[in-house]
A and B are shown apart, each in its own frame.
Chain A
Amino acid sequence: MEQTKYLIAGCSHAALSALNSIRMLDQDGSLTLVTKDDHLPYSPTVLPYIVSGQSKPEKVKLRDDEFFAQNKVNFISGAGLSTLDVDNNSVTLQNGQEWQYEKLLLATGAAPAIPPIPGLTDTPYHVLRTMDDAVNLHAALESAKSAVVLGGGLIGMHAAENLIKVGVQVTIVEMRPQVLPGYFDAEAAKIIEQTFIENGVAMRIGNTVVGAAPDGEGAKVSLDSGDEITADLLLVCTGVAPVISYLEDGPVETDQGILVNDCMATNIANIWAAGDVAQAVNFYSGEKSVGGILPAAVEQGRIAGMSMINDPAINPYPGGVPLNTYGFFGNQAISVGVSDENALPKDTEVLLNVNEEEMTYQKILIGEGCLLGISGINTDFDPGIMWQLVLQRVDLEPVKEEFLSNPTDTGRDLMSRTWR
């Protein structure tokens, strides 16, 4: 059995962020990074750009062999976790290797959640979560003239835009009444949907897919409205679910994902979890939920790494905050925190500024003098600063007028003072 001080399962943002934290204080402790993927580390977020051809697989690697050599990282690709034996502090990899660890980080991410649509399993469809998915989908575009995208979330919308840009006729089907729920309210979503329609994307919002079947080389989907859509390509982007199959029947506590405390530690000694696989506390509700957003993965990975190395500078995880930067057809939509006041107490202050002609939208939500959320389309604010204002519950009362009229400069002023 091989031995390693630190074993990190997964190699995307949470894993690399933890690696970074560990190497800050321990440059020499043996560190092994294992991933089921056959590629150097990359981000799932970048995949839509691989699909469109705007970027190339070899261009988007987040780390390379030179980095691993310099940082004394034993990088094992093509071998995810197969089983975990917490009593022996050991794991088995898919390639049969056994590894014993002193500290283990589970950053195994998430995989597409495939909805139980009748006929779907017999129908050829694509998903978009791994580099291989992206390369396959990119190759499929050569012959495809039309596509149906199931799901109007981030990946689905990104993919749809990138498909139409290379000349594929696209239909998006979203079961919920708006696209991008959780990040934007219905009004902002409407602006985004409208832009997609203007750019030639067919939007079927509020429609449920009730069946799928093969159609020649392509696929045919039936909607609850009775309509049928046929397309050369079917892309299923209906969300993701944490990859935790290797924990089945084991003692590591899971719910939707792996349950962690505010240092990203699981209920089992020497085991941490971070990123899309982890179910950590939400900043607003205090409940634990799975997140699946990149900046949260980075933050959780950082904290997990610090906890694994006993870094005295560690601060507990403040809780997940919805964060999203979304570019579409040359427009920029950004949201930090809550975007829908309906989920908030009645006395929440709402400042809304919409200009349909200019296609700008901005909403600021303030409760008890603190920023609860800010979202905007084609408006100007620094999301990183806003995130800190939310997390630190900075009192905006003394500067509220200025903040509402100019969140960018006011935010910069506040942070410059705070961080000087």
Chain B
Amino acid sequence: MGHSHNTIAFHQDKCDGCGECMTVCAGAKSGTADTLHSRLKIVPSIAANDSFELALCRQCGDPKCVLNCPSGSLTKNHKTGVVPWDAEKCVDCLLCTVGCAYGGITYNAAAGHVMKCDMCDGDPACVKSCPTGALEYNRSAEIYNNYGELEDLFVPGLAACQGCNSELLIRHTMRKIGSNAVVATPPGCIAGMGTVGFNGKTGSKIPVFHPLLTNTASMLAGAKRYYNRIGRDVTMVALAGDGGTVDAGFQSLSGAAERGEQMLYICVDNEGYMNTGMQRSGSTSFGSWTSTTPVGETLHGKTQDAKNMPVIMMMHNCEYVATASLAFMDDYYEKLDKALAAAKRGMAYLHVYSPCPTGWRIPSESTNEVCRKAVETNFVTLWEFAPDEGLRFTHSTDDPLPVEEYLNLSGKYRHLDDAQLTHIENSVERKVAFLNGFMLATSDDGAESLAQ
């Protein structure tokens, strides 16, 4: 299996050209503040005022500098992903610089040899120094490498639709949790795609059962109490849809949370009853087309806002509540870690926004892009809450993209008129403002900013 590599990402829209990264790089690599020695170069953009571009080694998968090197001093380390440069073997011929179209390996006249980024052994100094977050060390690759090695606890060939975000989610999640678990998949896509099995065969390699739409949390609570009584520490996991959580399953979940039952409850929110023919649910967003909120002469999609389920769960004495999106996999894994720890003490609730290519009418290859745009427009906010730590955003809500950039990706919003769009824009703003208020009131960070 191929190996993935962490990368340094450049968010051009956040770069203000301060140059701190270059100073820090020169210091870390050459012991001087002279940016001449920096391995990365920020250059002003001629196309747009106050905009900047970056020249930095991209640690190419198939690096031309390496193929151009006549002395064997450049190689590709397929384990770390870095293209290291060996000064010992280099003959200073500069042919590597001919091979690089990015200005990633350059001649340093002061030092008399070429220089390039080596990713600081996986802890890049430039990223840590960037005050605006324009440079980001993306560790997603580590996740794929680490968890890719673990056993997939579902059978191959689950009958999910092409591009299904939920299948990606459950395979990642159960690899991470491992086999010492009992999984409940109430009616919905996750059960429907075959995780509970078909023709007398199971669809997973761990105990999995199929509760009613209404009693997932109570059944897990009972199973957990039994295991506790016989002295076995087994993790209870619900992989439920929004219908089984927000609507029909709400009463049993609310009760279990209030009693502090120990489980990890994951709501995979695809904003409707997608498995049974795309009916609306309490989690369907305003304006959405569904088969029960059709678009015609009088009706133009759903006329109510979605229930804000994770906020409701925050008020339920849970040990941990968080929202997640698989476009931000590293964020999801961090939250999964915390949720698993919390599930030993009581209720841990994860709400994962999960676009549905079939029901939302999005091309199957765009699922992840829809996930990402939802967060970047603030339509979905990523945050976590724990009783003693309060609420904390894990993805900044500052400077969001226009919400249309998210809505335009899905066919279910194609009919929206201006009034509906304004309604959605307002409700996105209101939801963010509400969470901000909550953050300020509950967290240490918030208390500090209130004091100022």
- Please say whether chains A and B are actual partners in one complex: yes
Chain A interface (Cβ within 8 Å of chain B)?
A: 13, 16-17, 20, 24, 42-46, 49, 54-55, 59-62, 294-295, 298, 301-302, 323, 325, 327, 330, 332, 334, 336, 378, 380, 382-385, 387-388, 398-399, 402, 408-413, 415-417, 419-420
Pick from A294, A332, A415: contact of B68, CB under 8 Å = A294
Q: Is B71 an interface residue (CB 8 A)?
A: yes
Q: Evaluate contact between A20 and B72: CB separation under 8 angstroms.
A: no
* Contact A415 B93, beta carbon cutoff 8 Å: no
Q: 18 A-B Cβ contacts within 8 A?
A: A17-B67, A42-B70, A43-B71, A59-B72, A62-B72, A294-B95, A295-B98, A298-B99, A302-B67, A325-B93, A332-B94, A382-B97, A382-B100, A382-B106, A383-B97, A384-B64, A412-B103, A415-B102
A402 to B45, CA, bound (A): 11
- A413 to B45, Cβ gap below 8 A? yes
The answer to whether A325 and B67 touch (CB under 8 A), given A62-B72, A332-B109, A416-B54, is: no
Nearest-Cβ distance from residue B92 to partner chain A, whole angstroms:
5
Q: Are B92 and A417 in contact (CB under 8 A)?
A: no
* Chain A hits for B46, CB < 8 A: 398-399, 402, 410, 413
CB neighbours of A302 from chain B (8 A): 67
Top 6 closest pairs, chain A to chain B, by CB: A43-B70, A416-B53, A325-B94, A45-B70, A384-B100, A412-B55
Can you name 7 extra interface pairs (CB under 8 A) apart from A13-B67, A384-B64, A416-B55? A49-B71, A294-B68, A384-B99, A384-B100, A399-B46, A411-B103, A420-B10
Interface string of B79-93 (1 = CB under 8 A from A): 000000000110111
Closest to A334 in B: B94
B112 within 8 A of A: yes
Q: Nearest B residue to A379 by beta-carbon distance?
A: B109
Q: A43 to chain B: which residues have CB within 8 Å?
A: 70-71
Q: Which residues of A contact B95 (CB under 8 A)?
A: 45, 294-295, 325
Say whether B102 contacts A384, CB under 8 Å.
yes
- Which residues of B lie under 8 Å from residue A378 when comparing CB positions? 109
Interface residues of B in 75-131 (CB under 8 A from A): 88-89, 91-95, 97-103, 106-107, 109, 112
Q: Which B residues are CB-close (under 8 A) to A410?
A: 46
Do B72 and A61 touch (CB < 8 A)?
yes
Of all chain A residues, which has the CB nearest B112? A330
Q: Does B300 have its Cβ within 8 Å of any Cβ on chain A?
A: no
Residue of B nearest to A61 (CB): B72
Task: Please report whether the interface of chain B is mostly helix, strand, loop or mixed according to DSSP.
Answer: loop
- Residues of B near A332 (CB, < 8 A) are 94, 107, 109
Which chain A positions have C-beta within 8 A of B107?
Answer: 332, 380
Chain B contacts for A323, CB-based, 8 A: 98
> In the complex, A301 Cα to B102 Cα: how many Å?
21
- Whether, in the assembled complex, B304 has its beta carbon less than 8 Å from a beta carbon of chain A, the answer is no
Q: Give bound CA distance, A184 to B54, whole Å.
A: 30
Q: Establish whether residues A298 and B44, one from each chain, have CB atoms under 8 Å apart when the complex forms.
A: no
Q: Taking CB as reference atom, which chain B residue is nearest A17?
A: B67
B43 within 8 A of A: yes
Q: Taking CB as reference atom, which chain B residue is nearest A48?
A: B91
Beyond A43-B70, A302-B67, whether A387 also contacts B102 by CB under 8 A is: no
Q: In the complex, what distance in Å separates the CA atom of A252 from the CA atom of B10?
A: 50
Which of these, A46, A62, A417, contacts B53 with CB under 8 Å?
Answer: A417
Binding site for A on B (CB under 8 A): 10, 12, 41, 43-47, 53-55, 62, 64, 67-72, 88-89, 91-95, 97-103, 106-107, 109, 112
A413 surroundings in chain B (CB, below 8 A): 43-47, 53
Q: Are A298 and B55 in contact (CB under 8 A)?
A: no
Chain B residues whose CB sits within 8 angstroms of the CB of A59 once the complex forms: 71-72, 88-89
Output the nearest chain B residue to A384 by Cβ-Cβ distance.
B100
A20 to B62, CA, bound (A): 9
Would you call A385 and B91 a contact (CB within 8 A)?
no
In the assembled complex, the CB of A211 is this many whole angstroms from the nearest CB of chain B, namely 35
Is A419's CB under 8 angstroms from B102's CB? yes
A323 CA / B96 CA spacing, docked (Å): 12
Considering the complex, give the chain A residue whose CB is closest to the CB of B65: A384
Q: Which residues in B have their C-beta under 8 angstroms from that of A411?
A: 103
Across-interface contacts of B106 in A (CB, < 8 A)? 382
Are the C-beta atoms of B71 and A46 separated by less than 8 Å?
yes
B67, chain A: closest CB distance, angstroms: 5
Bound-state CA distance A412–B10 (Å) is 14
Please name all residues of chain B whose beta carbon is closer than 8 Å to the beta carbon of A16 when the two chains form the complex.
Answer: 67
Cα of A416 to Cα of B71 in the assembled complex, Å: 28
Shortest distance between the CB of A70 and any CB in chain B (Å): 10
CA distance A417 to B53 in the complex (A): 7
Q: Decide: A327 and B92 in contact? CB cutoff 8 A.
A: yes
Complex Cα–Cα for A302 and B68 (A): 11
Q: Is the CB of A385 within 8 A of B12?
A: no
Contact partner of A49 among B41, B91, B101, CB < 8 A?
B91
**Chain B residues with CB under 8 A of A325:** 93-95, 97-98
CA distance A304 to B45 in the complex (A): 37
Q: Are B94 and A412 in contact (CB under 8 A)?
A: no
Cβ contacts under 8 Å, B10 to chain A: 420
For residue A60, which residues in chain B have a CB less than 8 angstroms away from its CB? Answer: 70-72, 89
A412-B53 in contact given A54-B91, A378-B109, A387-B101 (Cβ < 8 Å): yes
Contacts of A382 in B (CB 8 A): 55, 97, 100, 103, 106
A346: min CB distance to chain B, Å: 29
Give B101 Cβ to nearest chain A Cβ, in Å: 5
Interface centre among B92, B102, B109 (most CB of A within 10 A): B102
Contacts of B68 in A (CB 8 A): 13, 294-295, 298
Given A60-B72, A412-B43, residue A383 in contact with residue B98 (CB < 8 A):
yes
Complex Cα gap A388–B99 (Å): 10
Most buried by A among B41, B71, B88, B106: B71
- A410 to B67: give the CA distance in the assembly, Å: 26
With A and B bound together, what is the CA distance between A62 and B69 in angstroms?
Answer: 8
Chain A positions within 8 Å of B69 at CB level = 62
Residues of B within 8 Å of A415, CB to CB, are: 55, 101-103
With beta carbons under 8 angstroms apart, the residue of B53, B62, B93 that contacts A327 is B93
Which chain A positions have C-beta within 8 A of B45?
A: 413, 417
Q: A24, A380, A416: which contacts B109 (Cβ < 8 A)?
A: A380
CA distance A62 to B71 in the complex (A): 7
Which residues of A have CB within 8 Å of B47? 413, 417
Nearest B residue to A43 by beta-carbon distance? B70
Residues of A within 8 A of B91 (CB): 46, 49, 54-55
Whether A298 contacts B67 in the complex (CB less than 8 A), given A410-B46, A412-B55, A417-B45, comes out as yes
Residue on A nearest B45 in the bound complex, by CB: A413
* Closest partner residue, chain B, to A380 (CB atom): B109
Q: How far is the CA of A45 from the CA of B98 in the complex (A)?
A: 14
B102 to chain A, nearest CB (A): 6
Q: How far is the CA of A332 from the CA of B93 in the complex (A)?
A: 9
Q: Which residues of A are found within 8 Å of B43, using beta-carbon distances?
A: 409, 412-413, 416
